[in-house]
Structure 1
Amino acid sequence: MKLYNKMKRYRSGLLVATAALVTGMSACTKNFERYNTDNTGVTDGQLGPDFNSLGLYLKSAQMSILNFSGGGDPNSYQVQQNLNADCFSGYFMTPNPFSSSNNTNYGLVPGWNGEAYKVGYLNVMSPVLKLRESGIDKNFPAVWAVAQIIQVTAMSRVTDIYGPIPYSRVGEGLSSVPYDSQQDVYKRFFAQLDTATGSLRAQISSGTQLPFNFSNFDVVYNGNFPQWLRFANSLRLRLAMHIVKADPATAKLEAEKALNPANGGVITDNADNMTVKVTGDFTNPLVFIAKNWADIRIGASLQCYLTGYKDPRVSRYMDKATDPATGLKGVYKGIRIGSLVDKPKYQTYSSLNTEDGASPAFTLKTPMQVMTAAEVYFLRAEATIRGWSNTGGSAQQLYEQGVTTSMAQWQVSAPGYLANDSSHADAYTDPKNPVNNINSPSTITIKWNEGDVEAKKMERIMTQKWLAMFPEGQEAWTEFRRTGYPKLFPVVNNNSGNTISTDVQIRRLPFPQNEYNTNPAAVAAAVQLLSTPADNGGTRLWWDK
């Protein structure tokens, strides 16, 4: 099966202005009709103000954070994230050239770049608006709190792709919805999290029983409100850290609020990891793309850090190469981003771990990962270095806890790993094309050294955080842009026409072409809100300093 290129047009301004488009939306993928119907189990004629149909809206929004619901079969996820952030983050690279110029070599494809935007509004914002129209925010504030948390989770990913987005005026019935600056979008995120966490704390304190089984519609935490509260606080901490260079005072305020034990705590155990279950006829789209289409393989940056560190997670993250060529068969080998590839040659490089070992880590039903306890420990380690309150340990303690929590998540043993002060990322060699060869990207080692300068401590934290967040490429790309770590291999070929620096690497995606076609005045104003008024992949976001 091949990547689709043609998308039916949708009118952005109208879509985001109404919540009645949850069902019956114009198709964007070849299997839209089946996926849209199967996800909710109801049709237009069946929708009503009952708990069952409203709960299904919530389930739809949860599954669309990482898009395998609503309009999203694996085709949609492929261009929403996989051929974008998953590759930009250093985790993956495609063996399929698709065309000589595409996102993996910075020849940005307009037909790919609007998918994350479309999914955010049609598959998340629209059902959440439908929930609000039902009065659930007043009648069942704890359920509305979960809907708000889902919306913030999903739309934070959208703004971190494009920058300014329509947000505060969505749902007002406007024919042209204005964009908010990214700074204002983040302010709104924090306000929504204030409301949501307050409602969750009230629900937990009162113990009020809902008149329906919320767990039927919760494919993340099975209706467990304390877990949703811990995730909401962890999400606040993540978003606070995103803006630390752009607005350090707000970052500190929001991070300390998230870390204050009186507010319900953050994720500290893998049992609380935020993962979305893959139910019914749906499949994990990343696994589907790797296993069934052979359209994605491991990136060279990830492979070189794991093999250089002799990291035991390597066997859980990837399979060994199957190519019989010398230097390939039976070893872990990724593909360098921006390489000139052809599928028969490069699909034999390392893929996700779907085959090797007695119990491979990835199957078509593996839940989709959004946030883990390990990530939160690394956030807390960074907060400690910044001198913030309520972090709960020294930077070294939290760093080491992040590593050991990740090892436990992936069920590997790592004796001596934290004491390794000599190993660093490998250089990359490509047996099929020496043009792709490159020296090691970094000399950073694993063992904590309290005497290191702050920059070196940050590189160590961020490198291990990046290893622990796999395979969630969207957040990994965000953190690379925010901090510059880990140091990643640059693209071999840069087809951006000098709009994206090979060394600095890609910073964002351009606004969707459909917005220029249907919402031209608003998107033109949005361009002026960017750090520089240039709608291309080299322009930095507000928080990207």
Structure 2
Amino acid sequence: MNKINILIIAFFTVITACTNDFEETNTNPNTTNVGQIKASGMFEPLLYNGANFWLNYTWYWNNELVQFTAFTGGTTRQEHRYFISDANWQSVWNAYSRYGNNVTHMYDLSIDQKDRSLEAISMTLKVLYMSNLTDMFGDVPYSEAFTARKPNGTTKPQFESQKEVYEQMFADLNTANDIYATNPVFVKPALDGMYGGSMDKWRKFNNSLYLRLLMRVSGRPEMNAQAKISEVINSPSVYPIFTSNADNATVIFSGNDPYRSQFADTNEGTFTSSGRKLTEQLIKMTVLKGINDEQVFVDPRLPIIGKKNPSLSTNPNNLWKGTIAGVSEQNQSDADRGSSWLNTAVLARVDAPGTFMDFAEIQFILAEAALKGWIAGGDTQAKQFYENAVKASVEKWGAYGQFSETAVVISEADITELLQSDLASWDKATNKAELIGNQKYLALFWIGMEAYHEYRRTGFPELTIGDGAIYNDYILPTRFAYPTTTLATNSNNVQEAIGRMGPNTMKTPVWWSKQAIAGN
């Protein structure tokens, strides 16, 4: 087993342990024979640690790249200036690969142990993790990935084109959907902190993930995504999807070890005030100003996800203020002064949940599809889906308002006011696609890397690149580059992928992106 793990690390630089927080026999294959591991023993770490992984990446990477936050408390972190190194690429590659490897192992065990419920769940989770790997890097191994432990496996897997990877992910999701439809028994429901072992709920998540990824590649006509989206929407008995916030793919942490949020032991300084501040970009999309620059309306979600800077010396008028993403070092102090923080009391509590996907995202997908004529209903139906999406997002965050230092209660009137405001009104918007993109961006706050992926797909919202974003020539990273270890250990296959994609830099767009499709 040690030799197998060395080979796995050599080709994919993957750590095979699921976690340090759960029982060793479930997380360190070196201490036990493969046959002694139960698929159910791998499920719980993959779910809970996966949710914490999602939380960490949304805080550390996504928020900085898409200008929800900017680390302007010093120069130790400069991701918002696009100072991203090979070590960062390696870390991100390893993280997604680790989960892909472990969930593939769980799948193999579920087949051997004839556990149909975990067979389907394994495929759903594999697509969840691997879709993020390909969306971060472009072409990646899929069919040959993580096969080194098998008799005919390889330590040098072929890198497949993103088109091929997506086709295989779609096939896996459809296979999983068929298995869920047989209603297999989830043997230990208590292990499932997301759906309590409900195959109906997992099936909805699987098919909602399918919709997400179909929309991701919808700009590529060869994927026939528009027809497939229509098929999903018009076949609810075959493809059930999220129908309310009750279906959200949200992992619930009890707050007791080891079921604790990623940020359970994080103080306010480490989490936000000494580093990550809310940005001008986020504030201008959630705060309406009057003719004298007074703040006349605030998106009701903002006081739940954020907190005004409490210092009267730096924020004497008690306003929502954002720092500048990508600000130069010399202007950093001025930009940072009085800037608002993340709401630690809400986001970093011990039992704060982690969300992979929610109902609001599905409604935004349907709004876009209706607006573009891919599904029936036209502008009228698009408006309804859009308003459903905004309402669902506000209601989701409204449920967390009770945890703020000063409790925030959101009423139906507050939601109506938002939907009638210049921030979110369908009828007032001259560019409906941009409105959907902008509000979807806000709704994707705190959901993994989704806002970053969607920005590259749609170009929304319009982001302003700061004058300090010098490390990628003032270009928001369009992908992460393959790390040098991967280049060294699987050179031929990596070089073939680079030949298809373009230079191995953060300026080469991924295949499904708006930039790649436009050819500029």
Provide the TM-score with structure 1 as the length reference. 0.78
Partner of 2:172: 192
- Per-residue CA deviation, residues 141-192 of structure 1 (Å, 9 max, x unaligned), is 2221111101111111111111111111113321322211111111111000
> Which stretch of structure 1 is more off in the superposition, 394-403 or 36-45?
36-45
- Per-residue CA deviation, residues 233-290 of structure 1 (Å, 9 max, x unaligned), is 1111110111111236521133223322122421121111111233523543357667
Trace 1:284-363 onto structure 2 (pairs within 5 A): 284-285=261-262, 291=268, 293-294=270-271, 295-308=275-288, 310-327=298-315, 330-340=318-328, 346=336, 349-355=339-345, 360=346, 362-363=348-349
Trace 1:30-179 onto structure 2 (pairs within 5 A): 34-35=20-21, 40=26, 44-46=30-32, 49=35, 53-68=38-53, 77=56, 80-99=57-76, 102-122=78-98, 124-136=99-111, 139-173=114-148, 174-179=154-159
In structure 1, stretches of 5+ residues that fail to align are 1-9, 26-31, 425-444
Q: Does 1:479 align with 2:454?
A: yes
Q: 1:21 to 1:114 in 2, by over 3 A?
A: closer
- Per-residue CA deviation, residues 341-386 of structure 1 (Å, 9 max, x unaligned), is 679994963222234xxxx465232111221111111111111112
Partner of 1:28: none
Equivalents in 1 of 2:9, 2:314: separation in Å?
54
Q: 1:166 to 1:18 in 2, by over 3 A?
A: closer
* 8 Å CA contact retained: 1:236, 1:254: no
Q: CA deviation at 1:418?
A: 4.7
Equivalents in 1 of 2:412, 2:62: separation in Å?
29
Trace 1:204-219 onto structure 2 (pairs within 5 A): 209=185, 212-213=187-188, 215-219=189-193
Partner of 1:22: 16
Q: CA deviation at 1:53?
A: 3.7
Equivalents in 2 of 1:472, 1:263: separation in Å?
27
Q: 1:416 to 1:177 in 2, by over 3 A?
A: same
Equivalents in 1 of 2:267, 2:445: separation in Å?
15
> Which stretch of structure 1 is more off in the superposition, 383-392 or 13-22?
13-22
Equivalents in 2 of 1:248, 1:126: separation in Å?
29
Equivalents in 2 of 1:47, 1:96: separation in Å?
48
* 8 Å CA contact retained: 1:275, 1:368: yes
Larger helix percent: 2
* Aligned residues with identical type, % of pairs: 23
Q: CA deviation at 1:67?
A: 4.6
Partner of 1:536: 505
Partner of 2:294: none
Q: 1:11 to 1:161 in 2, by over 3 A?
A: farther
* 8 Å CA contact retained: 1:300, 1:336: yes
Q: How many matched pairs? A: 478
Q: 1:227 to 1:420 in 2, by over 3 A?
A: closer
Partner of 1:29: none
Equivalents in 2 of 1:179, 1:89: separation in Å?
28
* 8 Å CA contact retained: 2:315, 2:338: no
Provide the TM-score with structure 2 as the length reference. 0.82
Q: Secondary structure at the match of 1:229?
A: helix
Q: CA deviation at 1:64?
A: 4.4
Partner of 2:492: 521
Q: 1:20 to 1:522 in 2, by over 3 A?
A: closer
Partner of 1:273: 248
Equivalents in 2 of 1:417, 1:380: separation in Å?
20
Q: CA deviation at 1:542?
A: 0.2
Q: CA deviation at 1:17?
A: 6.9
- Per-residue CA deviation, residues 54-102 of structure 1 (Å, 9 max, x unaligned), is 2131222223444549xxxx9xx3xx55342221122221134344x83
Q: Secondary structure at the match of 1:275?
A: strand
Calculate the aligned-residue CA RMSD, in Å: 3.4
Q: One-letter code of the match for 1:170?
A: A
Equivalents in 1 of 2:30, 2:500: separation in Å?
38
Q: CA deviation at 1:114?
A: 2.2
* 8 Å CA contact retained: 2:11, 2:486: no
Q: 1:285 to 1:209 in 2, by over 3 A?
A: closer
Equivalents in 2 of 1:106, 1:370: separation in Å?
25
